Amino acid sequence: MNDPHLNLDHFWMPFTANRQFRGKPRMLVSAKDMHYTSDDGRQVVDGCAGLWCVNAGHNREEILSAIKAQLDTLDFAPTFQMGHPMAFKAAEKVAELAPAGMSKVFFANSGSESVDSALKIALAYHRARGEGTRTKFIGRERGYHGVGFGGISVGGIPLNRKVFGGQLLPGVDHLPHTHNLREAAFSRGQPKWGSHLAEDLERLVALHDPSNIAAVIVEPVAGSTGVLPPPVGYLETLRAICDKHGILLIFDEVISGFGRLGTPFAAQYFNVTPDLICCAKGITNATIPMGAVIAKDFIYDALMNGPEGLIELFHGYTYSGHPVAAAAAVATLDLYRETGLFEASRPMHAAIADAAHGMRELPNVIDVRNIGLIAAIELKSREGKPGARAYEAMVKCFERGVLVRITGDTIALSPPLIVGQSHLDEIFDTLGDVLRTID
Ligand code: PXG
């Protein structure tokens, strides 16, 4: 770290080994397009779009100027019983990108809040229709749905749940995850094996009875648990079972939304339409925090009953549709559309897949997975030290000017959608060199 006067004693860092970090801090001080600049003046190519969120690359002028203009005009206005134009414009832009029939947008400030909002909307929907017994949720092992109590309950990451109490939200059950090295290692794109795992939903439905189940929530592509593309036919089976039993299907598209798979949402990529979509991150290109739930019209309509003067949904955040976040969203979504960014990035899907699968013979590599503009390289864990090998790779890559993201012993790549072949070459050449040096 360059600045000896910077006091590191007070910022309690999220999802970070705080004491280890303080021993050897890694500081980023500015960014442009595909690169960060570190505090010692090095260019670091961004292999993971920040945290899967800077989809159009860093510090895009069009977005920054819209944010500055909004700050000069209206810093804040309430959206409880009041309105301001930018929130309505942002909602319209989000709805334009969503699958047909999903035109209602509820704003939150993060992915975690959008997940909690979606779960609550599902409960309110069933109750409004006189099916208030539908209160259970089905999540999935290895699912990540943020860190609210709702999200960690339906999520399936043991360490995110362990120290926060055994029960969490009551009435939650989990589908099995779809990761299987024996059956599907080194699959390119969607694994052919595993769609039968979606049929487990029938077993859970029979166990709990449909009349008690509100919603199923999954990431169409699990991201932070190591990049797990859905097996061929898997999402279709979930959709069919939910339809059969009147259960809402929620796609958590916090990572897969806004072009990560070359389409606005994974729903369009897989041609499976959920009832609710959670999104965040790329909605503002990560410039200003924002999350959203996109709802099918029938869900919204079911809640628009009762006396007109009555608040229909007792839920919302002070900053739902915050003017500056809304301005950032409008500018971001305009930028995506005007530059045709999602379509333009599609040729890089094969390029990242080729580069990633080119790593399969390197030491300790036990799997390579990819879909859209996402790739993952899973390393064999060191005996008794899960995560140590990938952590070492991440640190060494950073020292050589490449930012990668790790989860357990999986290295995840999800560059901004403006990535070019030369960036991919730099990322994968560096990663390859690093993997050859790690025992
Ligand atoms: N759902 C999904 C699918 C996510 O990936 C969240 C919800 C929560 O979003 P917020 O905005 O509350 O953090 C996420 C967040 C990683 C990584 O590297 C992934 C996330 C966040 C930080 C790191 O895997 N995903």
Query: Per residue in 14-28, pLDDT tens?
Result: 999 999 999 999 999
Asked if residues 220 and 270 have their Cβ atoms less than 8 Å apart, the reply is: yes
Whether ligand 1 lies within 6 angstroms of the CB of 409 is answered as no
- Predicted confidence at residue 3, as pLDDT, reads 87
Rounded average pLDDT over 261-271: 98
DSSP secondary structure letter of residue 193: S
pLDDT category, 162, cuts 50, 70, 90? confident
**Nearest-angstrom CA–CA distance, 418 and 35:** 11
Q: Is the predicted pLDDT of residue 166 greater than 80, yes or no?
A: no
Contacts (Cβ under 8 Å, ≥6 apart) of 320:
79, 87, 106, 107, 108, 109
Averaged pLDDT of the chain: 97
Q: Is the pLDDT of residue 280 over 90?
A: yes
CA-based R_g, the chain, Å: 22
Smallest CA separation from ligand 1 atom 23, residue: 51
Measured between alpha carbons, how far is 407 from 222 in angstroms, rounded to an integer?
Answer: 12
Q: Give the pLDDT confidence score for residue 436 in this predicted structure.
A: 98
- What pLDDT does 257 receive? 98
SS3 state at 20:
helix
219 Cβ below 6 A of ligand 1: yes
For residue 100, give Cα distances in angstroms to 65, 95, 144, 268, 272: 31, 9, 26, 10, 11
**Closest C-alpha to 183, from 202, 196, 199:** 196
CATH superfamily of 18-60+345-437: Aspartate Aminotransferase, domain 1 (3.90.1150.10)
Among 217, 221, 224, residue whose Cα is nearest residue 189: 221
Is any atom of ligand 1 closer than 6 Å to the C-beta of 140? Answer: no
Question: Per-residue pLDDT averaged across 118-130, rounded?
Answer: 98
Q: Find out whether the beta carbon of 115 lies less than 6 Å from any atom of ligand 1.
A: yes
Instruction: Say if ligand 1 is within 6 A of residue 112 CB.
Output: yes
- The C-alpha angle with vertex 418 and arms to 257 and 44, in degrees rounded to 5, equals 105
- Averaged pLDDT, 293-311: 96
What's residue 223's pLDDT? 95
**Residues 318-342, mean pLDDT to the nearest whole number:** 98
- What is the CATH T-level fold of the domain 74-339, as seen in this structure? Aspartate Aminotransferase; domain 2 (3.40.640)
Compute the average pLDDT of residues 107-132. Answer: 98
Does the Cβ of 50 fall within 6 Å of ligand 1?
Answer: no
Yes or no: say if 194 and 180 are a contact pair by the CB < 8 Å rule.
yes
Question: Atom of ligand 1 at shortest distance to CA of 405?
Answer: 18
Asked whether residue 251 carries a pLDDT value surpassing 90, the answer given is yes
Is ligand 1 within 6 A of the CB of residue 390? no
Which of 13, 48, 224, 404 has most ligand 1 atoms within 8 Å of CB, for mutation? 224
Return d(Cα 188, Cα 349) in angstroms, integer: 11
Distance CA 119, CA 215 (A): 8
Which residues are within 8 A (CB) of 400 and not within 5 positions of it... i.e. 6 or more apart?
430, 433, 434
Q: How far is the CA of 220 from the centre of ligand 1 (A)?
A: 14
| Ligand 1 in reach of 405 Cβ (< 6 A) | yes
| pLDDT given for residue 56 in this prediction | 98
Residue 135 pLDDT > 90, yes or no? yes
284, 53 contact by CB (below 8 A): no
**CB-based contacts of 129-132 (< 8 A; 24+ apart in sequence):** 129/302, 131/211, 131/246
Domain residue ranges in the chain: 18-60+345-437, 74-339
Which tens digit of pLDDT belongs to each residue from 347-400? 999 999 999 999 999 999 999 999 999 999 999 999 999 999 999 999 999 999
Strand ranges (DSSP E) for 23-148?
Answer: 28-32, 35-38, 43-46, 104-108, 136-140
User: What is the 437 CA–ligand 1 centroid distance (Å)?
Assistant: 30
Q: Given this model, what pLDDT does residue 4 score?
A: 87
Q: What is the pLDDT of residue 1?
A: 75
Mean per-residue pLDDT, 25-48: 97
Distant-in-sequence, close-in-space partners of 51: CB < 8 Å, separation ≥ 6: 281, 286, 405
CA 244 to ligand 1 centroid distance, Å: 30
Task: Please say whether the beta carbons of 365 and 403 come within 8 A.
Answer: no
pLDDT at residue 298, rounded to an integer: 98
Taking a C-beta distance cutoff of 8 angstroms, is the pair 49, 284 a contact? no
Is the shortest distance between the CB of 280 and ligand 1 below 6 Å? yes
**Reported confidence tier of residue 306, pLDDT bands at 50, 70, 90:** confident
Question: Is there an atom of ligand 1 within 6 Å of 205 CB?
Answer: no
Single-letter amino acid code for the residue at 186? F
Distance CA 272, CA 251 (A): 10
Surface-to-core class of residue 5, CB atoms within 10 Å of its CB (0-12 exposed, 13-18 middle, 19+ buried): exposed
The H or E element that residue 348 is part of is helix 347-357
Q: How much is the average pLDDT of 73-93? A: 98
Cβ neighbours around 377 below 10 Å, total: 30
Find residue 295's DSSP bridge partners.
Answer: 104, 276
* pLDDT of 140 higher than 80: yes
Read off the pLDDT of each residue in 259-288 and give the average, rounded to a whole number. Answer: 98
Q: What is the DSSP string of 112-161?
A: HHHHHHHHHHHHHHHHHTT-TT--EEEEETT----SSHHHHHHS--HHHH
pLDDT at 267: 98
